[in-house]
Chains A and B, each alone.
Chain A
Amino acid sequence: MIKYLTPFYVMLTGGIWAVLSGISITVIIALLSGLPIRPTLSVFFITGIIGAIWIAIASRTGRDTRHKQISFVIHAVTLLLLSLFQPFNAPLSDGILWQLLGIAGFSWIQSTVMYNILATLDKDSINRRNLELSFISSMRHFGFLFFGVMILLPLYVLIMSSLKSQQELLMNPLNLMPDFGQSLPDLFRSYIELFTKFNFDTYLLNATIVSVTTVIITLLFAVPGAYAVSRLNFPGRVLLSRSILMIYLVPAIVLVIPLYAVFSQLGLRNSLTGLLLVYPATTLPVALYMLQGYFRGLPRELEEAGMMDGCSRIRVILTITLPLSLPALASVSLYVFMIAWNEFLFAFMFLDDPDMFTLSRGVVSLNSSEVPRQHLMAGAVIATAPILVIFLWAERFLVQGLTAGSVKG
C-alpha cells in the first residue's frame, strides 16, 4: 500500500513545493527589483514534479550531496524550457540579472528542500515511518517559510515605509526600496523631523520615565507581596493568591470610564502622575504572580538556615532570597517595562497635552491626513526599536520568567 502511495506523495510534494517556492521567490524578487513579474504556476508545478521524481530515483542508491547540485541544474533547465524562457511572464531580457537570480533562487530552494525531504526515501526504506518523517520534514520546511514571511514581511514593510513617501509608494507599491542615492539627512528626513518638529524627544523621555518608574514601583510592591503569598502562612492566603489572578483578568476597558471621570475631576488626566498611578496597578497582579511562582521554587532550607543563624525575616529576604531571585526579578522587570512601554489605552484616554505624550500616544497623534505617512511609520519604528533591542538582549529571561509561574518541571 505504502509502496504504491509513495510515487504520488513524491510528485505531489514536488509540485506543491515548487508552487510555494515559486511564489515566494517571485514575491522576493518583485519586492527587491520592482519588476512586474508573475509566476506561471502550472510550469512551476510540473517542474517541481520532474525534479522530485528525479531526486527520488537518484536516491534509490543512497543519499549523495552531489544529487543536490545536479537537482539544481535540472530544476533551472526544466523551468526555463517549459516556460519557453519566460518563467516570470516577462521577457527574460527585462532585468535579466534579477530574473536569473529568481530562477537560481527557486532552483536552490527546491533542490535543497527536495533533497532534505525526499532523499530519505531510498528503495529499501519505504515504510510508513519514513514516509511520515519525510512529511514532517516537509512541514518543518514549510513552517520556516511560512513564519519567515509572516514575521519578516511586516518588519521589512515597517522599516522601508518609514523611508519612503506615500506618493512614491502609490506609483509602484511593490518598490519598497528607498532611494539610497540621496544624502543621509534626506533618507532619514522623517526621523529627523520627528525629533526636531514633532517633539519626539519629549515623548521618548516621557515613555522612558513612565516605564522605568512603573518597573520600580511594581517591584517595590510585588516583591514583599509575592514573598508573603508564597512563603508565609496566614488566614486567607489561598483566597488572596487566587484573587490576584482574577484581578489580572479584569480588562482595562472596564476601568477606564470611572478612572477617566475621577482623574478629570482631580486634574490628574493630563499628567504622567496619573499614568504612574494606573500602570503599576495593572502590572502588579502579573508581577506578583510571576514572582510567587519563582519564590515557591526556591529551596526553603536556605532561608531556614538563615533564620537559625538568627537573621530576621527581612534580612533573610534581602540577603538570601533576593540575590537568588535575580533572574526572576530581571524577567519581571522586563515584562513590566514592556507592558508600560507598549500601553496604549490609558495613554490615549488620559493624555491630551502634547507635552505629556508617551511614545504610544505620540505615534497615534501622527495618524492624521496632515502628517505624511512616513512620519507615522518612522514613529512606529522609534517606538519599536528600543523594546526590540532590550528584548533580543534579554530574551532568555523573559521566556523563563513568564513560563516559570505556571509550568512546573
Chain B
Amino acid sequence: MSTTAGPMARREAKLAYSMLLPTIFVVLAIVLLPLAATFWISVKPVTLNDLRAPEATAKARLRGSLEAAGDSAILEFRLRNTSQQKPVSDITFKATMPTGITITEVDPRCQYAAPDLSCDFDDFPAKFSERLKIPVTADASYIKNPVPLKSITPLMSGTSDNVLTNFSFTTSNFTKIFDSESFWHVLWVTMVYTFAGTIGALIMGLFAAQLLQREFKGRTVVRGLFLFPYVAPVIAMAFTWLVLFDPYSGVVNALLKQMGVVSESINFFGIRDTPIDLFGMEFQFPVALSMVIAFEIWRYFPLAFMFIMARMQSIPTDMYEAAEMDGASPLQQFWSLSLPQLAGILAVLFLLRFIWTFNKFDDIFLLTGGNAGTRTLTVDVYEQAFALSNLGAGSAVAVVIFVLLLIMSLLYFRSIPKEEGL
C-alpha cells in the first residue's frame, strides 16, 4: 500500500471527518472544555458567591405628583451595586422618558437628548448606593396619556472584575486539601470502596453467570430479574435500601432482633464503626462503609454478570467434551478451562469497573451523604464545592480524581488483551 494519499483516500478521510465533526464538537464543548476549566478553577480562589457577577442596577420612583399640565416633580433613581465585595466600573446608564415628560435640570454626569437620558458613572464601590434625583415637568400630552414613571427601567452596563476570568492565581486550594488530615482518609476510603466494590461485583457476577449458564425454563425471566438492580434508577434503589435498613421501621433490623441476633437496632448507614471481637482480637469494623460497598456490589454485579455470561456462551462446547473424556472433574473443568477462557473479559471488567466505581458519586451521596466514614473523593468534590461553597477547593479535588484516573486508564490500555475488542 502506498503511503501517499490518493484523491480517493483524501475524499474518504474528508467524509470521515465530516461525519465525526458533530460528535467531536459536542464532546469538546461539554467534556473537554469543562475538563480544562476544572484545572483552571482549581488554581483560583473562587467561591459559590462569585458566580453571581457584580451588577449595577437602578430602580425608578416618583417623588411628588404630576396631575396637571405644568406640574413638576422629582424622578428618583436608586443606583446600586449588587455585590457586597466587588466594585463595578465604567457604568453606563440610559433611560427613555415617556412622551410629555421633560427634564428640567440635568445631572453633570449625564447628557439629555430628549427623550433619552444617558449618563456615565465611573465606579460603584462594593455595597454602593446612591439616589440620582432628576427634576421633571409634565405637559398636557402626558396628562392625557399618563405612564407611571416608576415603570421606567433604565438600561445599565458596567464592567467588573470576574474572578473566573481574571489572572489571579492561588495554590491555596491544593495546599488546603493536601494539608487537611481528612483528605488522606478520604483517599483511603476511596481505595477500599473501589477495590472491594469491584472485586465483589466481579465474584457475584461470575457466580450468577454460572447459575444461568445452563438452559432451563424461565431463564429469560430470571436473567431479567438479575439485571434489575442495575437498570432501576439509583434514587429508587438507594431509598429502598435506606428503608430496608432503617433502624426504627426497617425490615432487616426487625428481623435481626426477632431472630435474636442483635438486641439493639443497628443504624447501618449511620455508624462509622463498631468494635468486633474476633478470636480475642478486637478491631473496629467499618459499618457504614461496608454497607455502601455492599450496595455497590449489589447494584453492579449485573453488569459483570452480563459480560461474563456472553463470554461463556462463546466458549466452544467441544472443549468441555474433550475434558470430560479425559476424566476432568467439574471443578477442574471450571478451574482449568472456564476461568482461563474468562481471564481476558475478567481483566477488562476489573479495570472498567474499578474506574467506574472510583468515579461513582450518586450511590454514596444518596445513602450516607458521605458521613460516617464513607466520604470518597467524588463526594468530597461536592462537599468542598457546594456544601462549603469553595469551588476552587472542589475543583482541586476533581483534578486529583482526574489525574488518578488518567494513570488508571493508561494502565487499562497497556494491559487490555488484544483479542478483547478495541
A residues whose Cβ falls under 8 Å from a Cβ of B: 23, 26-27, 30-31, 36-39, 128-129, 132-133, 135-136, 140, 143-144, 147, 150-155, 157-158, 161, 166, 169-170, 172-174, 176, 220-222, 224-225, 227-229, 232-235, 237, 240-242, 245-247, 249-262, 264-265, 277-278, 280-282, 284-285, 288, 293, 313, 338, 341-342, 344-345, 349, 359-360, 363-364, 367, 373, 376-377, 380-381, 383-384, 387-388, 391-392, 395-396, 398-399, 402-409
> Given A136-B330, A143-B207, A174-B255 in contact, is the A403-B401 Cβ separation under 8 Å?
no
Closest to B22 in A: A221
The answer to whether B38 has its CB under 8 Å from any CB of chain A is: yes
By the criterion CB–CB under 8 Å, are B26 and A157 in contact?
Answer: no
By the criterion CB–CB under 8 Å, are A384 and B41 in contact?
Answer: no
> Given A174-B254, A387-B231, A407-B307 in contact, is the A144-B211 Cβ separation under 8 Å?
yes
The answer to whether B104 has its CB under 8 Å from any CB of chain A is: no
Chain B residues with Cβ below 8 Å from A222 are 23
Which one of B40, B46, B330, B361 lies within 8 Å of A345 (CB-CB)? B361
Closest to B228 in A: A151
By the criterion CB–CB under 8 Å, are A281 and B27 in contact?
Answer: yes
Chain B residues with Cβ below 8 Å from A234 are 12-13, 16-17
Is the interface on chain B under 10, 10 to 19, 20 to 34, or 35 or more residues? 35 or more
> Given A224-B19, A387-B233 in contact, is the A395-B243 Cβ separation under 8 Å?
no
Chain A residues with Cβ below 8 Å from B255 are 27, 30, 174
> Given A258-B37, A265-B51, A284-B27 in contact, is the A360-B233 Cβ separation under 8 Å?
yes
A284 to B421, CA, bound (A): 19
**19 pairs from A and B in contact (CB 8 Å cutoff):** A26-B259, A37-B258, A143-B207, A157-B243, A158-B243, A173-B248, A251-B358, A253-B382, A257-B391, A258-B37, A259-B30, A264-B51, A282-B31, A360-B234, A377-B243, A383-B235, A384-B232, A387-B231, A391-B224
By the criterion CB–CB under 8 Å, are B234 and A280 in contact?
Answer: no
The answer to whether B394 has its CB under 8 Å from any CB of chain A is: yes
B163 to chain A, nearest CB (A): 11
Which one of B32, B253, B394, B398 lies within 8 Å of A173 (CB-CB)? B253
A220 to chain B, nearest CB (A): 8
The answer to whether B244 has its CB under 8 Å from any CB of chain A is: yes
Closest to A364 in B: B235
By the criterion CB–CB under 8 Å, are B31 and A247 in contact?
Answer: yes
By the criterion CB–CB under 8 Å, are B306 and A153 in contact?
Answer: no
Chain A residues with Cβ below 8 Å from B281 are none
The answer to whether B275 has its CB under 8 Å from any CB of chain A is: no
Chain B residues with Cβ below 8 Å from A135 are 331
> Given A224-B20, A392-B224 in contact, is the A23-B31 Cβ separation under 8 Å?
no
The answer to whether B405 has its CB under 8 Å from any CB of chain A is: yes
A203 to B378, CA, bound (A): 27
B355 to chain A, nearest CB (A): 5
By the criterion CB–CB under 8 Å, are B231 and A253 in contact?
Answer: no
Chain A residues with Cβ below 8 Å from B358 are 251
Closest to B399 in A: A254
By the criterion CB–CB under 8 Å, are A254 and B13 in contact?
Answer: no
By the criterion CB–CB under 8 Å, are B17 and A391 in contact?
Answer: no
A384 to B210, CA, bound (A): 28
By the criterion CB–CB under 8 Å, are B420 and A407 in contact?
Answer: yes
A342 to B306, CA, bound (A): 19
Chain A residues with Cβ below 8 Å from B362 are 344-345
A172 to B248, CA, bound (A): 10
Chain B residues with Cβ below 8 Å from A136 are 330-331
Q: Which of B390-412 contact A (CB under 8 A)?
A: 391, 394-395, 398, 401-402, 405, 409
Q: A132-B330, A235-B13, A257-B395 are in contact. List 15 more A-B contacts (CB 8 A).
A: A30-B258, A147-B208, A151-B228, A228-B20, A233-B9, A251-B361, A257-B391, A258-B395, A265-B53, A288-B23, A313-B15, A344-B235, A383-B236, A387-B233, A408-B420
